[in-house]
A and B are shown apart, each in its own frame.
Chain A
């Protein structure tokens, strides 16, 4: 990151306030994720039955749940778990996918076809169903949610990196690198990957949102995270029982948290694309 890049980022953020807001949102999410347990006004686990199911008020701004726990505190504490699952899953698939995809896209041939087949098989499953099956097979635990989410993301990264490398592998500057004495491996690692990573970073940011929804979906149907652990998906699942009696806040606030988190990552992804595209720099 040179100072020119930073200056460019600053210029982009000024010209694109939405990205700035999204970036601020992501920073805020990270802070809440780190310091959540200390800033939550109430204990997220201890129940207080006398206060059960009270609507939003000054004392409990997001209301309380069926055990009288403060919904707002639970939302704050849940941030860390939700982010950790999404970030680690996307990180794993990003690292693996970029390298595998870049090598396949550059080398082509038998390896490429074999990996292509594997990706085809993974993509032949509806991905959420695949994640569900994997959690069931590996065991109903949080780490397995991470692994399952990483695996269902993997095909996208492989395909993306593969395609991006493939269109570039016959460009003049790639051939020039070889004429200048670089080996194939060096061309892939030092030339092609750095050129492909910005586009993949955008993909990663967009995928983080998707991974959050996915993990929340899995815990909504009762996989992975177990109550009373606060987690956004589980909170919606617990609140679902009370929706037809009008206890909207149990669903709406965790839903809002999910929505805002995903929105921030998506908007940031679009913004990063503008920042990293050097052609927009003047």
Chain B
């Protein structure tokens, strides 16, 4: 499989190139965050002090500590140095270093987001394909109506209504707070993803309980992004089905499923891959809302609590973390796209 190895090499080279080219963006993100958090608001020392009622001396100490008496470019270098060492400051609410807090809470957010993305993809792509195969049919109209409505319902409203129906009315969902029942025992933490940890521990009951907790928040987050995903799948499938090479495939008498799957769908999936990156960004944002609605102990609710109590170090850490996650996701999306589309070259 020399060809396979070569293709793998090209993909890795591409991933490396892409990573290098995303470094300036990451640097830009750092500078932007720095400007946002330290330069824009009045006095950053007051901002980062223990609270609105901090005394004059305390503010002076903080100013020294943060190097705010130094010129701005030097401050930027100090800031970059701190971030490079993983020092994002300390949260006054929890009293812990922000890095520690974020690390403990990130798996919860990621588990929720990935579960939602999975739900969204496995429902949106078939819906879009079905609609495109029979344009103008009842399925098509149904999918389009669903798409039109889906983007209009805010995540926090659909989350709350899901709670109302499945928890209050039907009683099939557990109490919508947190990742596990308060009295349940947690599995030994290996990945931080509860569904995986429970499986590794062989605790099926625990897994089921965690799954039941996860399903409503994941569903409300997925509902919001199914619409754009299905819409783009339908549109690109229609373009693909109408293109010249499909006519060619039909002209040589290829079987129907091969025309649809190997020829049309594989081409149609390319824009879906691209849009998945954008959808992921939307979902990272929606995390804030969903984690609030379901009291989900993730990084977003942590940052939100901090923000509302004017504790800014966690907010800054959170923003940096989200941007980094998104840059990594874009990198993955890009590599996937490169695998799926041979026209993309290394350069």
Contact = CB atoms under 8 A, between A and B. Distances in A.
Q: Do A and B come from one complex?
A: yes
Nearest to A135: B307
A126 B168 contact: no
Most B-side CB within 10 Å, residue of A120, A133, A216: A133
Given A138-B41, A243-B168, A255-B154, A129 B284 contact: yes
Interface residues of B, number: 54
Contact of A137 (B41, B155, B169): B41
B36 A121 contact: no
B156 A126 contact: no
A136 B318 CA distance: 13
Interface in A232-279: 233, 236-237, 239-240, 243-246, 248, 251-252, 254-255, 258-260, 262-263, 266-267
A125 B41 contact: no
A128 B318 CA distance: 12
A221 interface: yes
Contacts of A267: 148
Nearest to B321: A129
Contact of A240 (B152, B160, B286, B319): B160
A114 to B, nearest CB: 11
- Judged by DSSP, the binding face of B is helix
Contact of B164 (A137, A248, A260): A248
B332 to A, nearest CB: 14
B157 A209 contact: no
Contacts, number: 154
B80 interface: no
Nearest to B24: A117
B168 A244 contact: yes
Interface stretch (B5-13, B124-132, B242-250, B322-330): B322-330
Range for the number of chain A residues in contact with chain B: 35 or more
Contact of A139 (B41, B281, B326): B41
A223 B308 CA distance: 8
A259 B236 CA distance: 27
8 contacts: A124-B330, A125-B322, A125-B323, A125-B326, A129-B285, A129-B319, A244-B175, A263-B148
B25 A121 contact: yes
Contacts of B163: 243-244
A217 interface: yes
A266 B145 CA distance: 12
Interface string A124-159: 111111101110111100000000000000000000
Contacts of B157: 236, 251-252, 254-255, 258-259
Given A125-B29, A126-B284, A133-B319, A209 B164 contact: no
Interface string B146-183: 00110111111110110110011100000110000000
B2 interface: no
B281 A255 contact: no
Contacts of B164: 243-244, 246, 248, 251
